[in-house]
């Protein structure tokens, strides 16, 4: 059927009979669902939104507990799609209360007349893909089914409360409340003995207010959490001025930022700051009361390096001890089991100070776990607490819970989503799932969602999805499905990103660890909002890479592949270089390229401190060669690694890989001696190789003088430096020493042949391009000499096990080196 006819036939949104026919069905009338409805309607798609509650608001409809507020500043936690909406609504506080946020959603629903297409009190009980009709059939709790071409889950990440998993809840004779399902009518706590179980955001926000009302409050804490003062009040003048000064640019910056709030990328690293400077930064952040600021703006390594994080966590721990008077209570409230930020930190108002009240008791469940709930209260291993009210602030089955709550979701070939996700959620971009055509998720697992300002992420997802539906309608496609290749590639990229952060080091709802039996893994995309947006844009501009598109009258389109093949940090650097629009390095000439590199290196962050850095010279074959030695902080003598810098035998010196050498020295606990070998074109082959060998020999002979362990040394190198390291090993073997205990070859050049796949696969777009490699080789070595094993060590006497080329590429999927050796 032509697209126009498909659209025409489906756009009769008849709710006659028992099946409502629509183009698109959306589940959830929260932040995402409302914007979806607005955009879909404007784009001419007939749409119905199915919502379990009796009004709009999503998670803000349900979370009515005392103290419930957003923890992203409200000027940022707002829709931005319509400037008129922005000027029509004024937030009264920096962090709006739940009632105000709910009023906002009501205002939005009224302004765009959204309620008429929302079916309230409606829960989906099953969703089934009909392959023949290319439509989803949704059955609901209230009878009428829905048939839709596209099915979009806008169910939110924190909307399925988790059961408390404590025996005896049903036996309790008093009142029971769940923060995630708080009653609409007033809950009277005055004069009552109240227990709160759970100290995540919901507990931390509600505890101070419950304490003010209750006769006595007992808080049952399993894991202490980091909380920071919100300093609520009017929106900060500086942020408002920034927004109002240039609203469009402020919003645009947010869209391309890491967390969806326009703070710049912090460049200073912790070791560049003194203790006093770090403390000053923390105090400033503490006074600001801004979660995103404190998570991103103190120093660049706080979120990616355990040591950089510990410096910050220690300062926050001090703040807790300054506030809480009783040292034992302060110690119990102080988090020690996770890096700061790896678990969602909370914004509080008087949280820690509440424990100074005589009518508030903290029970540390790590010391006395809850045994059961009884008719009169809560029994731990050591005590019984009689209470009138129990508040469960025990959290959610996050990210997947609300999606899986629609059970079963049956895709192509009768596959059930719960089976497909049995070992953890698998998605492409967090938006789609292979095997489930025309199903989309907004802020699904695999998207930045909960690690970002949800408002920005939601708008981006909705715009991307709706724009794709429009494009499909224009081109005659009626079904879209992610490919397995693309999905597997996304999983790899997700894992690569997560490895660079500290989220994997904490048991949290981000990883599924808070729900017993749930498969564990970092569920949100940790690569940042801006990078994610550019990836989504690349998918679309790259011919819907990773999607199969079909339609009745058009040829199938499947541009299969992985959207991100590079390691995220390599991608970041390459993108930055691409943005600089540099001419090819080889066009500078040798000296020009050296000058450029020196300037480039001067601008990079300094490497980490090590025990000692010593510059010296050693005798080479034709005169002294400079070296730089890096010594660990630990007591020696240490094993020695002789290191050769990269730079195509033409560029660099003993200092040019300084941050890398420091890092290696620190992590391995070995001395690194970086050798300044001579360069081409002034000194062509085999000078660099012979210098490398001579230096290694001298260093091995003088190991003890250098503070190292006498005996064999290791050699290491990067790129052309790795070529020298590999050659050195063979020369040492063939020339009776020195003894080499191992070689570390990072992206090594091991052979002169240019017919390796990497030379064509990765020929352009990299810092190290094919033409740059040609240039390096031409400057270093005449064609006649290139097959000499001192230039192409793969041609020397090597055992087959050594023919593995770049180990990083094989074992860690390194593609940044363009795999020259393979
Ligand atoms: P969270 O952050 O998941 O917090 C739940 C809390 O409940 C947390 O302290 C849990 O301890 C505790 N908990 C959960 N189950 C139990 C049992 N069985 N016994 C004792 N304690 C338990 O949920 P929130 O609702 O507070 O916040 C969710 C997000 O909403 C928040 O991060 C904001 O983004 C908004 P645990 O840490 O698991 O040891």
3-state secondary structure of 332: helix
Query: Are the C-beta atoms of residues 716 and 642 closer than 8 Å to each other?
Result: yes
Strand order in the sheet with 547-551: 479-482, 547-551, 554-558
Crossing angle of the two packed helices 454-475 and 31-42, in degrees rounded to 10: 30
Identify the segments of the chain with pLDDT beneath 70. 1-17, 799-822
198: CA distance to ligand 1 center in Å? 5
Q: What is the pLDDT of residue 604?
A: 85
3-class SS at 706? coil
How far is C-alpha 297 from the chain's CA centre? 16
Asked if residue 408 has a cis previous peptide bond (ω within 30° of 0), the answer is yes
Distance 22 CA to ligand 1 centre (A): 39
Q: Separation of 232 CA from ligand 1 center, angstroms?
A: 23
Ligand 1 atom closest to 513 (CA): 38
Q: Which class for 635: exposed (0-12), middle (13-18), buried (19 or more C-beta within 10 A)? A: exposed
Tokens of 527: 């690569």
Distance 563 CA to ligand 1 centre (A): 35
DSSP 214: S
- The predicted pLDDT at position 759 comes to 86
**Helix, strand, or coil here: 220?**
strand
Q: pLDDT, tens digit, for every residue of 248-291? A: 999 999 999 999 999 998 989 999 999 999 999 999 999 999 99
Q: How far is residue 623's CA from residue 123's CA, in Å, rounded to a whole number? A: 82
- Cα(323) to centroid(ligand 1), Å: 23
- For the record, the structure tokens of 770 come out as 């094919």
Distance CA 404, CA 414 (A): 16
From atom 12 of ligand 1, which residue's Cα is the shortest distance away?
Answer: 198
Mutate to test the pocket of ligand 1, among 31, 198, 453 (most ligand atoms within 8 A of CB): 198
Backbone angles phi, psi at 629, to 5 degrees: -105, 135
CB distance 121 to 54 below 8 Å: yes
* Ligand 1 closest atom vs CA 201: 26
Half-sphere exposure of 398 (CA within 13 A, CB side): 22
Q: At 196, is the secondary structure helix, strand, or coil?
A: strand
Ligand 1 centroid to 40 CA: how many Å? 35
DSSP 8-class letter at 97: B
- Pocket-testing residue among 394, 449, 507, 512, ligand 1, by greatest number of atoms within 8 A of Cβ: 394
Q: How many CB atoms lie within 10 A of CB 515?
A: 19
Residues in the chain: 822
Q: Residue 238 has what pLDDT?
A: 95
Q: 22 near 148, Cβ under 8 Å?
A: yes
Nearest CA to ligand 1 atom 17: 164
> Which atom of ligand 1 approaches the CA of 344 most closely?
32
Contacts of 664 (CB under 8 A, 6+ apart): 630, 641, 643, 670, 672, 716
Report the nearest-CA residue for atom 15 of ligand 1: 394
Tell me which long-range contacts 377-385 makes (C-beta under 8 A, separation of at least 24): 377/172, 377/174, 377/195, 378/195, 378/197, 378/218, 378/220, 385/195, 385/218
Closest residue to atom 3 of ligand 1, CA basis: 395
* Alpha-carbon gap, residue 288 to 237, rounded angstroms: 12
Question: Could you report the per-residue pLDDT of 318-339, keeping only the tens digit for each?
Answer: 999 999 999 999 999 999 999 9
**Angle at CA of residue 624, ends 621 and 629, nearest 5°:** 115
Instruction: Say if residues 338 and 508 touch (Cβ distance below 8 Å).
Output: yes
DSSP 8-state code for residue 481:
E
What DSSP line would sit under 511-523, residue for residue?
Answer: TTTTSTT---S--
Q: How far is the CA of 206 from the centre of ligand 1 (A)?
A: 13
Report the C-alpha gap between 416 and 446 in whole angstroms: 19
Which residue's C-alpha comes closest to atom 29 of ligand 1? 201
Distance 32 CA to ligand 1 centre (A): 24
The C-alpha R_g of the chain, in whole angstroms, comes to 31
Helix, strand, coil: what percent of the chain each, to 5?
40, 20, 45
Q: How far is the CA of 511 from the centre of ligand 1 (A)?
A: 13
CA dihedral sign of residues 716, 717, 718, 719: negative
By the 10 Å C-beta count (0-12 exposed, 13-18 middle, 19+ buried), 413 is classed as exposed
Atom of ligand 1 nearest to the CA of 179: 25
Distance of CA 360 to the CA centre of its chain: 37
Name 228's Cβ contacts closer than 8 Å, sequence gap at least 6.
Answer: 285, 286, 289, 291, 294, 316, 345, 346, 347, 348
Cross-strand pairs, 378: 373, 385
Burial of 463 (0-12, 13-18, 19+ CB in 10 A): middle
- Given ligand 1 and candidates 222, 392, 397, 516, which is best to mutate, with the most ligand atoms within 8 Å of its CB? 222
CA of 495 to the centre of ligand 1 (A): 25
The closest alpha carbon to 711, from 643, 640, 644, 642, belongs to 640
Query: For 498, which DSSP code?
Result: H
Amino acid 570: pLDDT: 87
Least Cα distance to 632 among 663, 601, 675 occurs for: 663
Distance 179 CA to ligand 1 centre (A): 11
Distance 373 CA to ligand 1 centre (A): 18
Q: Which residue's CA lies nearest to atom 38 of ligand 1? A: 514
Nearest CA to ligand 1 atom 35: 201
Residue 587: count other Cβ atoms within 10 Å of its Cβ.
12
- Of ligand 1's atoms, which has the minimum distance to the CA of residue 365? 20
- Peptide bond just before 570 cis, omega within 30 deg: no
Q: Give the Å distance between the CA of 220 and the centre of ligand 1.
A: 11
Q: Decide: helix, strand or coil at residue 319.
A: helix
Instruction: Please give all residues whose beta carbon lies within 6 A of any atom in ligand 1, as ranges.
Output: 158, 164-166, 179, 197-203, 222-223, 344, 365, 370, 393-396, 509, 514
| Residue showing tokens 């050594």 | 802
CA-proximal residue: ligand 1, atom 4 (nearest):
200
Q: Which of 148, 149, 502 is nearest to 308 (CA)?
A: 502
Asked whether the CA dihedral 736, 738, 740, 741 is positive or negative, the reply is positive
Q: Whose CA is nearest to atom 25 of ligand 1?
A: 395
> What single-letter DSSP state applies at residue 445?
B
Q: Are the C-beta atoms of 431 and 444 separated by less than 8 Å? A: yes
Crossing angle of helices 247-256 and 454-475, in 10° steps, is 90
The whole-angstrom separation of Cα 593 and Cα 603 is 16
Ligand 1 pocket test, pick from 95, 165, 201 with the greatest ligand atom count within 8 Å of Cβ, gives: 201
Q: How far is CA 212 from CA 280, 322, 471, in A?
A: 33, 22, 55
Atom of ligand 1 nearest to the CA of 205: 26
Q: What angle do CA 326, 328, 329 make, to 5 degrees?
A: 65
- How remote is the C-alpha of 343 from its chain's centroid? 13
What DSSP assignment string belongs to 118-146?
Answer: EETT--EEEEEEETTTTEEEEEETTS-EE
Name the phi and psi angles at 89, rounded to 5.
-120, 130
- Reduced to 3 states (helix: H, G, I; strand: E, B; else coil), residue 112 is coil
Residue linked to tokens 């005996």 = 711
User: Residue 93 is encoded by which pair of tokens?
Assistant: 């506080």
DSSP 456: H
Report which of 318, 317, 375, 360 is spatially closest to residue 221, judged by C-alpha positions: 360
Distance 203 CA to ligand 1 centre (A): 8
Question: What's the token pair of residue 402?
Answer: 């609300």
- For residue 412, the CA-to-ligand 1 centroid distance in Å is 36
Q: What is the DSSP string of 526-567?
A: -S-HHHHHHHHHHHHHTTSTTEEEEETTEEEEE--S-S--S-
DSSP 552-609: TTEEEEE--S-S--S-HHHHHHHHHHHHHTPPPGGGGHHHHHHHHHHHHHHTSPPPPP
């Amino acid at each position: 059927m032509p697209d126009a006819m498909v659209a025409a036939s489906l756009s009769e949104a008849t709710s006659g009979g028992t099946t409502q026919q629509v183009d698109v069905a959306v589940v959830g009338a929260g932040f995402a669902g409302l914007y979806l409805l607005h955009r879909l309607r404007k784009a001419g798609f007939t749409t119905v939104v199915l919502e379990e509650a009796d009004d709009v608001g999503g998670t803000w409809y349900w979370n009515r507990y005392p103290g419930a507020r957003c923890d992203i500043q409200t000027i940022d936690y707002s829709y931005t799609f319509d400037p008129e909406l922005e000027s029509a609504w004024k937030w009264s506080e920096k962090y709006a209360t739940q009632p105000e946020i709910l009023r906002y959603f009501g205002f939005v629903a009224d302004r765009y007349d959204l309620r008429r297409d929302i079916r309230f009190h409606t829960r989906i009980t099953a969703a089934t893909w009909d392959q023949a009709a290319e439509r989803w059939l949704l059955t609901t709790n209230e009878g009428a089914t829905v048939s839709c071409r596209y099915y979009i889950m806008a169910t939110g990440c924190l909307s399925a409360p988790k059961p408390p998993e404590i025996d005896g809840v049903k036996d309790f004779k008093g009142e029971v409340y769940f923060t995630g399902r708080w009653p609409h009518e007033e809950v009277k706590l005055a004069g009552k003995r109240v227990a709160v179980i759970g100290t995540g955001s919901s507990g931390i926000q509600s505890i101070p207010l419950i304490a003010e009302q209750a006769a006595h409050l007992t808080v049952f804490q399993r894991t202490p959490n980091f909380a920071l003062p919100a300093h609520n009040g009017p929106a900060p003048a500086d942020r408002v001025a920034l927004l109002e000064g240039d609203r469009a640019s402020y919003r645009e910056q947010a869209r391309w930022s890491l967390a969806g709030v326009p703070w710049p990328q912090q460049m200073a690293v912790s070791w560049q700051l003194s203790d006093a400077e770090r403390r000053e930064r923390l105090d400033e952040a503490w006074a600001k009361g801004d979660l995103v600021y404190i998570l991103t703006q103190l120093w660049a390594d706080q979120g990616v390096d355990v040591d950089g994080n510990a410096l910050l966590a220690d300062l926050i721990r001090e703040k807790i001890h300054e506030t809480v008077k009783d040292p034992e209570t302060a110690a119990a409230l102080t988090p020690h089991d996770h890096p700061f930020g790896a678990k969602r930190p909370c914004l509080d108002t008087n949280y820690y100070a509440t424990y100074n009240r005589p009518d508030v008791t903290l029970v540390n469940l790590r010391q006395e776990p809850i045994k059961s709930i009884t008719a009169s209260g809560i029994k731990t291993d050591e005590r019984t607490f009689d209470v009138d009210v129990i508040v469960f602030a025990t959290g959610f089955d996050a990210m997947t819970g609300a999606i899986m709550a629609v059970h079963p979701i049956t895709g192509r070939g009768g596959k059930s989503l719960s089976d497909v996700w049995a070992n953890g959620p698998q998605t492409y971009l967090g938006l789609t799932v292979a095997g489930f055509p025309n199903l989309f998720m907004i802020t699904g697992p695999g998207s930045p969602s909960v690690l970002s300002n949800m408002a920005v992420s939601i708008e981006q997802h909705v715009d991307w999805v709706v724009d794709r539906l429009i494009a499909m309608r224009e081109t005659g496609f009626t079904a879209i499905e992610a490919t397995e290749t693309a999905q597997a590639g996304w999983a790899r990229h997700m894992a690569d990103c997560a490895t660079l952060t500290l989220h994997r080091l904490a048991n949290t709802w981000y990883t599924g660890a808070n729900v017993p039996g749930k498969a564990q893994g970092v569920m949100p995309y940790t690569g940042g909002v801006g990078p994610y947006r550019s990836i989504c844009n690349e998918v679309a501009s790259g011919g819907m890479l990773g999607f199969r598109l079909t339609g009745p009258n058009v040829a199938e389109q499947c541009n299969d592949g992985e959207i991100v093949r590079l390691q995220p940090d390599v991608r970041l650097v390459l993108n930055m270089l691409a943005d600089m629009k540099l001419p090819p390095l080889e066009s500078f000439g040798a000296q020009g390229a050296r000058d450029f590199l020196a300037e480039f290196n001067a601008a990079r962050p300094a490497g980490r401190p090590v025990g000692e850095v010593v510059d010296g010279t050693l005798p080479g074959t034709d005169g002294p060669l400079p070296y730089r030695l890096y010594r660990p902080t630990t007591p020696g003598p240490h094993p020695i690694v002789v290191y050769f810098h990269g730079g195509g035998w033409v560029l660099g010196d003993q200092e040019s890989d300084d941050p890398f050498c420091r890092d290696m020295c620190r992590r391995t606990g070995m001395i690194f001696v970086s050798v300044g070998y001579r360069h081409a074109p002034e000194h062509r082959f085999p000078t660099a190789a012979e210098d490398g060998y001579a230096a290694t020999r001298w260093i091995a002979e003088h190991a003890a003088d250098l503070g190292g362990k006498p005996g064999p040394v290791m050699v290491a190198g990067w790129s052309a430096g790795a070529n020298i390291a590999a050659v050195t090993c063979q020369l040492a073997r063939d020339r009776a020493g020195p003894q080499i205990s191992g070689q570390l070859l990072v992206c090594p050049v091991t052979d002169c042949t240019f017919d390796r796949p990497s030379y064509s696969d990765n020929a352009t777009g990299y810092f190290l391009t094919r033409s740059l490699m040609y240039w390096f080789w031409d400057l270093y070595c005449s064609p006649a000499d290139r097959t000499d094993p001192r230039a192409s060590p793969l041609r020397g006497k090597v055992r087959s096990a050594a023919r593995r080329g770049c180990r990083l590429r094989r074992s860690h999927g390194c593609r940044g080196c363009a795999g020259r050796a393979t």
